[in-house]
């Protein structure tokens, strides 16, 4: 399988190169030249497999330069013994129609674990293949969940150093605590005075700065990315959508006769893009329902064809979706323009320079055919948590609530009654404060009293990784200005400049 850059079709690389480098030289994202198709025979074979083998099978189609042994090493390392039930992505039916894909059974209680438990294996395997023997420096911009999941995945992985930047006032107290207590000898955590987009722009700027890259090279180091711009992050996310389809088959042939919809609470557009790829591989997914919070740049885009980030940025109770620049949309546009690298590059330039661009009528029509975009206010997010709990006795977090609310809007608008998979992206205990408040309860001062009260009221268990934070040592307490991120990185790496 050959990978191109979304901004340069002349750039051709194998998966190992794409994963080891994270981003293409001119700033584009790596994309597979073709999407491999799964036949009915493939699906039949996959049906009988556990998650590790499903992962191997599906990744094998994309990472054709990996050996069977390498794939096995990566999939087993990532998914055996690391999730709380050895079933990384269980599907839970709420009723005949709604199936919740629980993606928060990993070590950091958010869906990012599904990709970030395997990325270190993919990355170190890739680096060996590309064979430059350099130390890999992982830079991460996070709206909360990626940072912790990346730290957990990369801690003490030989040959790597990981540095995480998060917006100072843009993550939940629990998320902040999770990151600042991170163990490991090769980890570093820093808050920035700015929002997530500032952090992401800072990281991208460092990645593409030739002076800094040269400094690293002189010191036998190289940057890579654990953000979903890295193909090694995105590919593993395809697995659970195919897996959800296989699990839905248990309900009988009739159940899936008209296919199913997928609803994804969306920020950087990585998770929903993985659902799109699963669809292109052959999973019978009909509508891709893209749910935003008050930062509704995507739902406007899907309605009008104009992507315009010139708008107020809101800090919400679903902070992992507080994003105005959805990086992975670039890959979607590359697909929908028939791999038109010049066009995609021009739009990304306009986004950088003017903060907006407008796609062609043709692309907009295709987007509307594939996607439904909606958004959910803060008030409705809270109401949805309460309603779902009262109706089904099922507790959801603030991000999943955004998805459920937009799904209800979609159904009211279209009358589409197909079976639906709702991606549940975080444990409610990661956002216990907002969840407890949504249930109409008074919220104690202390984070752990909040979790305990939530547990007592709803008769659900506090996930072990969150309970363990109570006694964990705080290891980081760093804050920097957004314009100083490059200095912080070089200083930490001991590089003089």
Ligand X SMILES: *Cc1c(COP(=O)(O)O)cnc(C)c1O
Which of 144, 151, 183 is CA-nearest to residue 318?
Answer: 144
| Annotation marks residue 356 as catalytic | no
State the minimum distance, in angstroms, from the CB of residue 380 to ligand X.
16
* Interstrand relation of 30-32 and 356-358 (parallel, antiparallel or unpaired): unpaired
Residues numbered 274-333 forming contacts with ligand X, rule: CB under 6 A: 320-321
228 part of the interface to ligand X, by CB under 6 A: yes
153 part of the interface to ligand X, by CB under 6 A: no
Name the one range near ligand X by CB under 6 A: 25-33, 178-186, 267-275, 447-455: 267-275
Interaction mask 97-136, ligand X, x per CB under 6 A = -------------x-x------------------------
State the minimum distance, in angstroms, from the CB of residue 188 to ligand X.
21
Name the one range near ligand X by CB under 6 A: 7-15, 130-138, 150-158, 265-273: 265-273
- Helix (H/G/I), strand (E/B), else coil: 354: helix
Give the whole-angstrom CA distance, residue 477 versus residue 473: 11
Applying CB under 6 A, which of residues 239, 281, 385, 426 lies at the interface with ligand X?
426
233 part of the interface to ligand X, by CB under 6 A: no
From 12, 44, 112, 482, active-site residue = 112
Judged by beta carbon, residue 22 or residue 267, the one nearer ligand X is: 267
CB within 8 A of 29, min separation 6: which ones? 5, 6, 23, 229, 231, 327, 328, 330, 331, 334
Number of chain positions touching ligand X (CB under 6 A) = 16
Residues numbered 340-399 forming contacts with ligand X, rule: CB under 6 A: 399
**Looking up tokens 């899907």, which residue turns up?**
302
Judged by beta carbon, residue 4 or residue 175, the one nearer ligand X is: 175
271 part of the interface to ligand X, by CB under 6 A: yes
Give the whole-angstrom CA distance, residue 159 versus residue 120: 10
Q: Which two tokens stand for residue 45?
A: 């074979």
Summary count for the chain: helices (H), strands (E): 22, 16
Give the whole-angstrom CA distance, residue 36 versus residue 277: 9
Judged by beta carbon, residue 120 or residue 265, the one nearer ligand X is: 265
Judged by beta carbon, residue 228 or residue 384, the one nearer ligand X is: 228
State the minimum distance, in angstroms, from the CB of residue 226 to ligand X.
12
Name the one range near ligand X by CB under 6 A: 32-40, 269-277, 371-379, 434-442: 269-277
Give the whole-angstrom CA distance, residue 44 versus residue 136: 39
Give the whole-angstrom CA distance, residue 399 versus residue 416: 23
269 part of the interface to ligand X, by CB under 6 A: yes
Judged by beta carbon, residue 145 or residue 447, the one nearer ligand X is: 145
Exposed, middle or buried by CB within 10 Å (0-12, 13-18, 19+), for 281?
buried
State the minimum distance, in angstroms, from the CB of residue 8 to ligand X.
24
Give the whole-angstrom CA distance, residue 366 versus residue 356: 20
Judged by beta carbon, residue 71 or residue 321, the one nearer ligand X is: 321
Return the ∠ at Cα 268 (arms to 266 and 273), rounded to 5°. Answer: 70
**Within 194-230, where are the H helices?**
196-207, 210-218
State the minimum distance, in angstroms, from the CB of residue 401 to ligand X.
11
Judged by beta carbon, residue 248 or residue 317, the one nearer ligand X is: 317
Q: Which two tokens stand for residue 288?
A: 């891709």
DSSP 443: -
State the minimum distance, in angstroms, from the CB of residue 269 to ligand X.
5
Q: Give catalytic residues, as residue numbers.
A: 112
Q: Which residues bind ligand X (CB under 6 A)?
A: 110, 112, 145, 228, 265-271, 320-321, 399, 425-426
């Amino acid at each position: 399988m050959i990978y191109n850059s979304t901004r340069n079709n002349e750039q051709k690389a194998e998966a190992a190169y794409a994963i080891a480098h994270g981003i293409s030289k001119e700033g584009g994202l790596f994309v597979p030249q073709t999407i491999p198709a799964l036949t009915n025979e493939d699906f039949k074979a996959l049906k009988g497999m556990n998650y590790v083998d499903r992962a191997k099978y599906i990744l094998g189609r994309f990472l054709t330069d990996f050996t069977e042994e390498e794939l096995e090493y990566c999939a087993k390392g990532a998914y055996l013994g690391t999730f709380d039930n050895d079933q990384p992505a269980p599907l839970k039916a709420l009723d005949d129609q709604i199936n919740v894909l629980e993606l928060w059974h990993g070590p950091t209680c958010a869906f990012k674990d599904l990709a970030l438990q395997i990325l270190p294996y993919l990355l170190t395997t890739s680096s060996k293949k590309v064979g430059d023997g350099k130390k890999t420096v992982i830079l991460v911009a996070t709206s909360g969940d990626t940072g912790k999941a990346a730290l957990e995945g990369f801690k003490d992985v030989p040959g790597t150093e990981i540095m995480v930047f998060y917006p100072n006032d843009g993550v939940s107290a629990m998320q902040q605590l999770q990151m600042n207590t991170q163990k490991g000898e090769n980890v570093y955590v820093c808050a920035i005075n700015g929002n997530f987009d500032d952090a992401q722009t800072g990281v991208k700027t460092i990645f593409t700065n030739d002076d800094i890259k040269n400094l690293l090279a002189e010191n036998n180091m190289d940057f890579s990315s654990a953000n979903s711009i890295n193909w090694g992050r995105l590919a593993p996310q395809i697995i659970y959508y195919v897996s959800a389809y296989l699990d839905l088959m248990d309900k009988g042939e009739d159940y899936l006769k008209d296919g199913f919809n997928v609803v994804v609470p969306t920020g950087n557009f990585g998770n929903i893009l993985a659902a799109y790829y699963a669809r292109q591989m052959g999973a019978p997914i009909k509508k891709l329902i893209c749910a935003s919070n008050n930062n509704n740049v995507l739902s406007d885009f899907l309605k009008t064809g104009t992507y315009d980030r010139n708008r107020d940025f809101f800090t919400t109770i679903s902070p992992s979706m507080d994003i105005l620049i959805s990086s992975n949309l670039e890959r979607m546009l590359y697909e929908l323009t028939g791999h038109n690298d010049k066009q995609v590059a021009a739009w990304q330039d306009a986004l950088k320079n003017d903060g907006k661009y407008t796609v062609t009528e043709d692309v907009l029509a295709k987007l509307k055919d594939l996607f439904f975009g909606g958004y959910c206010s803060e008030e409705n997010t809270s109401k949805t948590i309460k309603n779902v709990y009262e109706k089904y006795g099922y507790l959801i977090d603030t991000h999943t609530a955004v998805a459920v609310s937009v799904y209800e809007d979609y159904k009211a608008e279209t009358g589409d009654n197909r079976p639906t998979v709702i991606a549940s992206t975080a444990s409610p205990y990661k956002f216990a404060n907002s969840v407890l408040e949504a249930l109409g309860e008074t919220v104690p001062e202390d984070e752990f009293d909040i979790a305990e009260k939530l547990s007592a009221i709803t008769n659900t268990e506090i996930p072990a990784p969150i309970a363990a934070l109570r006694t964990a040592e705080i290891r980081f307490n760093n804050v920097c200005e957004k314009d100083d991120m490059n200095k912080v990185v070089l200083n930490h790496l001991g590089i003089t400049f």
